[in-house]
Amino acid sequence: LYTAPDSCEGRCGEPFNEEDECHCHPGCEAEHNCCEDHGRHCGPEGFSSSSGSISEQELLQLSEQLYGLDHNRARPSDIALNPQHLAGPEETGDRRDRSPQPLYRYVNEELFSKPTYASFIKLLDNYQRATGREEEVTAEELREQQRFLEEVMNTELMRKLFVFLQGKNRYGSEQEFLQDLNQMWFGLYSRGDGERDSSGFEHVFSGEVKKGKVSGFHNWIRFYLLEKQGVVNYFSHNFNGPWDTYPDVLGLQFSWDGFYKEVGSAFIGCSPEFEFGLYTLCFLARPGRACHLSLGGHRLSVQTYPWTKATYGGGRRFIATAYVMSP
């Protein structure tokens, strides 16, 4: 379903990219750098067709289209940030609070009444943040997951993403896409000693604590709500993206109840469906590799990783993490 970094499944004809660990472009045999299964997938009788691969140009074009379709994003007047200290490389790890004020001066909380925001926020209290503790999922929480997926699929942005993936033979129907989103994001797996204690959604959007450090936690809404409660303390930022509107990108240093996050990159001011859709696209197109995108004419990359120790649905992988990369 997705293109594994060491396989040519779904990648036949993909253009050469020096960041890839092995290659599937037409010249890889002459250059002796093909993936081991290149012949099996990309030969005359191969399992994968070049029509199913997603090119670099298609990623750039589609990400700009999704950016334009983020109708629920914050307007410039909806958020007032106070970034304060810009941390150098030698400062991000020293756990010093160099910003006495909160990161968010103001957020227009009317945003949170929009259906995708409201259903997203209901999910955030469904998780135990400590890894190694089994997650107990109630019937109500399952309904909340389903409601969130239904709300994001009601948006023009997610429908655009589905139509693109359907055209790449990744999904045959919207129902199949919904079911797979549910598994890849909400399916439970173990980051600890066998307990089903984590999921892609919990890690990326809600955040976890593992070995005394914050793990994941890449969502601006979650950050704002916890900062407002006084349990997140903003320390500094090491990157501020070039956007003069939302979504923007920040690289953050902060503590969460005393647990530290050295660099927690996040989109700021985007809708839940934008972040959810963009990470899904990159996980399906470039798992384990940099996914090069364009937003408002500015290039950026998203990194995703599949969870390699467990699968679902005949070998499909759960999302381990996804985040926007800040230089």
The percent of residues above 70 in pLDDT, for the chain, comes to 96
Between residues 66 and 190, the one the model is more confident about = 66
pLDDT of residue 327: 65
Indicate the fold that domain 1-45 takes in CATH. Factor Xa Inhibitor (4.10.410)
pLDDT tens digits along 211-269: 899 999 999 999 999 999 999 999 999 999 999 999 999 999 999 999 999 999 999 99
Query: What does the pLDDT average to over 46-68?
Result: 82
Question: What is the structure's pLDDT at 47?
Answer: 44
Q: What is the pLDDT of residue 2?
A: 58
- From-to residues of CATH 4.10.410.20 in the chain: 1-45
CA 298/CA 154 separation, integer angstroms: 27
Query: What integer pLDDT is reported at residue 169 of this predicted model?
Result: 86
Q: Residue 77's CB: how many other CB atoms inside 10 A?
A: 8
Measured CA to CA in angstroms, residue 202 lies from 57, 77, 123, 216, 250 at distances of 31, 30, 9, 8, 20
3-state secondary structure of 92: coil
For the segment 130-157, the average pLDDT, to the nearest whole number, is: 92
- Quote the pLDDT of residue 211: 87
Catalytic residues: 203, 218, 261
What pLDDT is stored for residue 92 in this prediction? 93
% of the chain residues with pLDDT over 90: 70
Mean pLDDT of the residues in the chain: 92
Q: What are phi and psi of 96, to 5 degrees?
A: -100, 135
Express each pLDDT in 275-326 by its tens digit: 999 999 999 998 888 899 999 999 999 999 998 888 898 788 999 999 999 7
